[in-house]
A = this chain, B = another copy of it.
Amino acid sequence: MANNIYNLQADTLKAIAHPTRIEILQQLQQGERCVCEIFPALNIEQPNVSRHLSILKKEGIVSSRKEGLKVIYRVNDQRIFKILDLVTEMLKEHWDSRKEAFA
């Protein structure tokens, strides 16, 4: 995969573009969390969460450290939440303009 800016941007966006990973990020917005806290909160299998976390980690969106048996994840850059906020704003606007169209 050519390392031009479009590919790099797409890779980062792809890493975020999954409902489970967005939900994981939302958990991490409240602070560091170990896998053992994340997967019950999301009510999905532990290996599944580990896979999603490894995708986020590969793209540099989260980092981890070990603490005994636990692996604790954190978000590297708060801008990720600004991105999610912008998406939400866009969705709202889109929804509103559609409502107008039907009003």
Contact = CB atoms under 8 A, between A and B. Distances in A.
Given A77-B93, A82-B86, A94-B76, A23 B8 contact: no
A23 to B, nearest CB: 5
**Prevailing SS type, chain A contact patch:** helix
Interface of A: 4-10, 12-14, 16-23, 26, 60-61, 76-77, 79-80, 82-84, 86-91, 93-94
21 contacts: A5-B91, A6-B19, A6-B26, A7-B19, A9-B84, A9-B88, A12-B90, A12-B91, A13-B13, A13-B17, A14-B14, A16-B17, A61-B90, A77-B93, A77-B94, A79-B86, A79-B89, A83-B83, A83-B86, A83-B87, A86-B86
